[in-house]
């Protein structure tokens, strides 16, 4: 046990304001939201009468929330797959001593620096299908002029595939990030490994398949967790691009929460959605956080 010196006291004092702020604004507030989710607060004026888990029961019976959960699953699955595949392919190709690599990298990654609101506004126009009478617009008209007219669809105006339109915009924004993660991973693999395999007569494909890809697994895990928690929380993009859509075809829990809380004043219901969201994110993130800080040296 180290001696308690004045410097140790100072070091703890310096950390204290942040610790208190996080204790209140993160943990205290989460606790308060959890409490609100157990009350009857259903209008502008607070009503803290406790009703147990009734809000959660009603929530899981709620048609809109069920659609939202399904949308979240579809969105997360498609978004993860497309980001991982595109990111991995681009990283592997870029790793092959490409001329102009820096330029390609910058082009793939710049959408990360832009707000989801900007992305949403632009993609809303790009995926605006136009109309049968007046002609196609956006991507659809591009398909027409490229002779790919059969690819035209209603995008977010079609309730069946509405959420896919949002996936396209989200992938546009985030796949460059996966590329960067994978590329950093590839650059971390020692040359000797590949050299040794080449000496043993392995083809480039075999090296990729049996040496590189297994070594990239931790990166895939990180990417799944980072992208997964972003996709569970996705909100801004939906607001700017589609709104809840026809029959809530583009709605997500985060949107429902904001809508019902701050537009509808159903505070208790909003709080219960928020807690469900938090639990989903925590299931994903907590094991990863604990694991990452355990393997301290790598952090």
Partner 1 sequence: MTTQLDEPRGSARPKTRWQRILIYSVLIIFAFFYLMPVYVLLVTSMKGFAEVSLYRMWHLPSGLHFDSFSKAWFGSVEEGFRGLNVNFMNSVYLTIPATILSAMIGSINGYILAKWKFRGSNVLFLLLLFGMFIPYQSILIPLVQTLQKINIFGVRLYGSIPGLILTHVIYGIPITTLIFRNYYANVPTELVEAARIDGANIFGVYRHVLFPLSMPGFVVVMIWQFTSIWNDFLFAVTITSNPATQPITVGLNNLAGSYIVEWNVQMAGALIAALPTLLVYIFLGRYFMRGLLAGSLKG
In whole angstroms, give the CA distance from residue 72 to residue 82.
15
Which residue, 158 or 236, has its beta carbon nearer to partner 1?
A: 236
Contacts of 283 (CB under 8 A, 6+ apart): none
Per CB under 8 A, the list member of 43, 57, 217, 293 interacting with partner 1 is 293
Of residues 64-93, those binding partner 1 (CB under 8 A): 86, 89-90, 93
In whole angstroms, give the CA distance from residue 125 to residue 74.
23
Per CB under 8 A, the list member of 148, 184, 213, 283 interacting with partner 1 is 184
Counting contacts by CB under 8 A, is residue 257 touching partner 1?
A: yes
Of residues 45-64, those binding partner 1 (CB under 8 A): none
Minimum distance from residue 66 beta carbon to partner 1 (Å) = 18
Per CB under 8 A, the list member of 81, 98, 151, 283 interacting with partner 1 is 98
**2 and 8 in contact (C-beta within 8 Å)?**
yes
Give residue 191's region: left, alpha or beta (phi > 0; psi -120 to 50).
Answer: alpha
Per CB under 8 A, the list member of 53, 77, 114, 148 interacting with partner 1 is 114
Which residue, 160 or 296, has its beta carbon nearer to partner 1?
A: 296
How does DSSP assign 55-93, residue by residue?
A: HHHHHHH-HHHHHHHHHHHHHHHHHHHHHHHHHHHHHHH
Nearest to 175 by CA among 250, 252, 107, 266: 107
Counting contacts by CB under 8 A, is residue 36 touching partner 1?
A: yes
Per CB under 8 A, the list member of 180, 216, 244, 259 interacting with partner 1 is 180
Minimum distance from residue 12 beta carbon to partner 1 (Å) = 7
**268 and 50 in contact (C-beta within 8 Å)?**
no
Of residues 225-254, those binding partner 1 (CB under 8 A): 226, 229, 232-233, 235-236, 239-240, 254
């Amino acid at each position: 046990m180290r001696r308690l010196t004045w410097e140790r006291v100072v070091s703890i004092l310096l950390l204290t304001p942040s610790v208190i702020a996080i204790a209140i604004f993160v943990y205290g507030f989460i606790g308060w939201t959890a409490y609100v989710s157990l009350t009857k607060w259903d209008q502008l004026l607070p009503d803290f009468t406790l009703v147990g888990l009734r809000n959660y029961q009603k929530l899981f019976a709620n048609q809109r929330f069920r659609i939202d959960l399904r949308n979240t699953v579809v969105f997360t699955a498609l978004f993860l797959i497309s980001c991982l595949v595109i990111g991995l392919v681009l990283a592997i190709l870029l790793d092959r001593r490409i001329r102009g690599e820096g330029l390609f990298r910058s082009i793939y990654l710049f959408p990360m620096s832009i707000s989801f609101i900007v992305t949403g506004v632009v993609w809303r126009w790009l995926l605006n299908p136009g109309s049968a009478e007046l002609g196609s617009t956006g991507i659809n008209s591009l398909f027409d002029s490229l002779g790919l007219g059969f690819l035209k669809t209603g995008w977010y105006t079609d309730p069946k595939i509405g959420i896919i339109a949002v996936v396209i915009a989200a992938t546009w924004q985030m796949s460059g990030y996966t590329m960067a993660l994978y590329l950093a991973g590839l650059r971390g693999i020692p040359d000797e490994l590949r050299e040794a395999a080449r000496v043993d007569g392995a083809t480039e494909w075999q090296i990729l398949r049996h040496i590189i890809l297994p070594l990239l697994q931790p990166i895939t895990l990180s990417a799944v967790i980072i992208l997964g928690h972003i996709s569970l929380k996705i909100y801004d993009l939906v607001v700017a691009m589609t709104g809840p859509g026809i029959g809530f075809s583009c709605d997500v829990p985060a949107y429902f929460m904001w809508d019902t809380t701050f537009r509808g004043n159903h505070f208790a219901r909003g709080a219960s959605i928020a807690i469900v969201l938090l639990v989903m994110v925590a299931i994903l993130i907590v094991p990863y956080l604990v694991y990452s800080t355990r393997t301290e040296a790598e952090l």
